[in-house]
Amino acid sequence: MIQLSIQNLAKRYKTGEGVSGINLDVKKGQLVTLLGPSGCGKTTVLRSVGGFLEPDSGDILIEGQSVLKLPPEKRPTAMVFQGYNLWPHMNVYNNLAFGLKIRKKSKKEIDEAVHRVLELVRLPGTEKKYPGELSGGQQQRIAVARAFLLEPAVLLLDEPFSALDAKLRHEMREELRDIQSRTGLTMVFVTHDQEEALSISDTIVVMNAGHIEQMASPQEIYDHPRTLFTAQFIGKMNFLQGTANGSLVHVKQLQFANTASLQGEVKIAIRPEDIIFVGTEEGLSAKVHQVMILGHYAEVSLETECGALKAFLPRDAVKDLQAGQLVGITFSKVLTYKI
């Protein structure tokens, strides 16, 4: 069942920035992430869904009903912002109960709902604390809990973890994914952090300059970036010049299948983990520039006649590699793009 449908949405600002031709369907219970650099339009889409921006054209349907004419407070959505937006003069209980009081819920209903949602975000017993007494991660959890209490058809999250440190951000991502799978809530999440998008999403929508570049599962986006922009934006990637001719793509003496059926000059993209070390007589000649141990794997910087490359290898595989050493390399998988 389609929970949220964005149809041909356009919103342009005087600066010329904004979005156009945005079409997106989000199924019930899905977590969909809008991913892209600053200014690509992802927050414009999110705020249009929440009712904080009025689109120039297009439609937004939630559970089959258009919400364009409804103000934010009347829409079946709730939004979690970058800042926690908690009222500092109210304790946790009152911060959470506020929206329910407006909806004329009884004291018993509010007590039960607040208790239930604090259990859900793993902060039971914090009702009497004030936001200033909580850590950043705890405050953000309360902000998420407050949004849950409104029982939205779609929960909107605008870079909610960007103010947190790396470890806490990682924990909050796991927490959110866990809550989402337990509640079955439909979520639209905005981030510019590709690792965040890859780790929590059912579907990633890669945005660039106001339009959608690619929409697919994290695995599909990583393994088969459809455009050069997506290839550059998602994960680490090496780029080389090559030539496509008939059924083959050539990079110096190396040959690969021309799966994209391109002709002439092409851009070849290779993931660092797809670089294979072979004998110096085989493959492309390369000089080891630097070996960096990064936990369970190593990053090897290489100099080749085609340019600098980075390779990821298991830590044990690099113990005999030295800076200045000559090696041969080939690629287990390449992607090709029109220049």
| 202 and 99 fall within a common domain | yes
80 and 146 part of one domain: yes
Note whether 112 and 223 are same-domain residues: yes
Does 221 lie in the same domain as 116? yes
Q: Of the given ranges (85-89, 98-102, 220-224), which has the lowest mean pLDDT? A: 98-102
| Residue range 297-327, pLDDT digits in tens | 999 999 998 899 999 999 888 888 889 999 9
Note down the domain range covering 301: 238-338
Q: What is the per-residue pLDDT across 242-277, written as a single tens digit (0 to 9) for each?
A: 999 889 999 988 899 998 889 999 999 999 999 999
CATH number reported for the structural domain that contains residue 261 in this entry = 2.40.50.140
What CATH code is carried by the domain that includes residue 152?
A: 3.40.50.300
213 shares a domain with 245: no
> Is residue 137 domain-shared with residue 102, that is, in the same domain?
yes
Nearest to 123 by CA among 111, 137, 110, 112: 137
Of the pLDDT bands very low, low, confident and very high (cuts 50, 70, 90), residue 84 is low
pLDDT at 83: 67
Does residue 248 sit in the same domain as residue 283? Answer: yes
Q: Count up the domains in the chain and report the number.
A: 2
Same domain, 51 and 179: yes
The pTM for the full model equals 0.88
Both 30 and 144 in one domain: the answer is yes
Name the domain boundary from 187, 204, 230: 230
Domain boundary among 208, 230, 252: 230
Residue ending a domain, among 199, 230, 261, is: 230
